[in-house]
Amino acid sequence: MARSVLCRGVSAFQLSRRIPLLSAPRCYSQSEAEPLTLREQKHGIRRIILNNPKKRNALSLSMLETLRENILADVDGEDLRVIILSAKGPVFSSGHDLKELTSTQGREYHTKVFQTCSEVMTLIQDLPIPVIAMVNGVATAAGCQLVASCDIAIASEKSTFATPGVNVGLFCSTPAVAIGRAVPRKVAMEMLLTGSPISARDALLHGLISKVVPEERLEEETLAIAQRVCQSSRPVVALGKATFHRQMAQGRDAAYATASKVMVDNLALIDGQEGIQAFLEKRKPVWSHKSEKVHD
């Protein structure tokens, strides 16, 4: 996998949502040292791989910052349609690096760690493109939070999920935000209060993940879903994803009002009308992938 020079700038997506920079825009090369994440993109699919198996792909501050950079890189490009998050080694992610959470680091550093983690998790849901977690192993604490924050999650049969912070004296309060919105409340509380892991089958049963497959089929199944997403119009998918998350936070009547307005807005898009015309004419749609409108 190529280790190209990564350029970190400001995208229109960041500006539109007032996403703060972790530091000043810069460029750097990761060719001299093993990078914490690997990134490649082909046919609209960006793959970001957590690449620190010796440390169980812990979400250290550096890992979080690197992950964020790889997510945001050219995020407004029309050729980017979906992101797949995966990991090297038997552990998807063990969560935060506990060595960064000792008193030696201090309150200011601890605050930065959790703020950055929260920003990455909300970024995944705020992105205009879907994010798929491909899990093949253990996902605990903030690693489980990362899975819960993704739009879709595919896991191998051997994967397990847990929030064991309570067992080391640090309750998984921030992972609970994402997990508590993905699984029933009592299931979330049992995970949080006991720290006991759940199997991939139970994670599927409770809604933490989307699908369980044999390990040998994990990549094939994940890519098939990603490729299916790529066949749709980028602005239509972006509008739909944003609306889904917005209406889920609303009451029923407000949600219907929001969704009804968005359906009308969707019809005004070039690709909205192209899809309908293609259906009526019994042909495949030719997407423009532009956010332009054909009428008000």
Tell me the pLDDT tens digit for each residue of 59-71: 999 999 999 999 9
Query: What does the block give as tokens for 206?
Result: 């409770």
Q: What is the pLDDT of residue 296?
A: 79
The CATH code that applies to domain 232-281 is 1.10.12.10
Who's near 248: CB < 8 A, 6+ residues apart? 255
| Residue 104 near residue 129, CB atoms below 8 Å | no
Range name among 9-13, 31-35, 239-243, 280-284 with the lowest pLDDT average:
9-13
Q: What is the pLDDT of residue 27?
A: 36
Exposure b/e, 46-77, CB count within 10 A at least 16 = b: bbbbbbbeeebbbbbbebbbbbbbbbbbebee
Two domains, one topology: 37-230 and 232-281: no
Burial class (CB in 10 A: 0-12, 13-18, 19+), 296: exposed
Q: What is the pLDDT of residue 295?
A: 86
- Rounded Cα distance, 193 and 222, in Å: 32
Query: What does the block give as tokens for 38?
Result: 């690997």
- Given pLDDT bands bounded at 50, 70 and 90, which one contains residue 11? low
Give 147's DSSP letter: H
- Rounded Cα distance, 21 and 244, in Å: 26
Widest CA span of the chain, in angstroms? 67
Phi, psi of 68 (to 5 degrees): -65, -40
- Rounded Cα distance, 17 and 86, in Å: 26
| Tens digit of each residue's pLDDT (9 = 90 or more) over 157-186 | 999 999 999 999 999 999 999 999 999 999
What residue ranges do the domains of the chain occupy?
37-230, 232-281
| Residue 92 near residue 135, CB atoms below 8 Å | yes
| Tens digit of each residue's pLDDT (9 = 90 or more) over 106-119 | 999 999 999 999 99
Query: What does the block give as tokens for 162?
Result: 């847990």
| Residue 179 near residue 163, CB atoms below 8 Å | yes
What angle is formed at CA 17 by the lines to CA 225 and CA 241, rounded to 5 degrees? 25
The CATH code that applies to domain 37-230 is 3.90.226.10
Beta strands 26-28 and 6-8: pairing type? antiparallel
Query: What does the block give as tokens for 19?
Result: 């996403």
- Rounded Cα distance, 167 and 6, in Å: 38
The percent of residues in the chain predicted with pLDDT above 70, rounded, is: 89
Is pLDDT of 40 > 60? yes
Closest CA to 56 of 188, 122, 118, 144: 144
Residue with structure tokens 């094939």? Answer: 220
Is pLDDT of 2 > 80? no
| Residue 35 near residue 3, CB atoms below 8 Å | yes
In total, the chain counts a number of residues equal to 296
Torsion region of 115: left, alpha or beta (phi above 0 gives left; psi -120 to 50 gives alpha): alpha
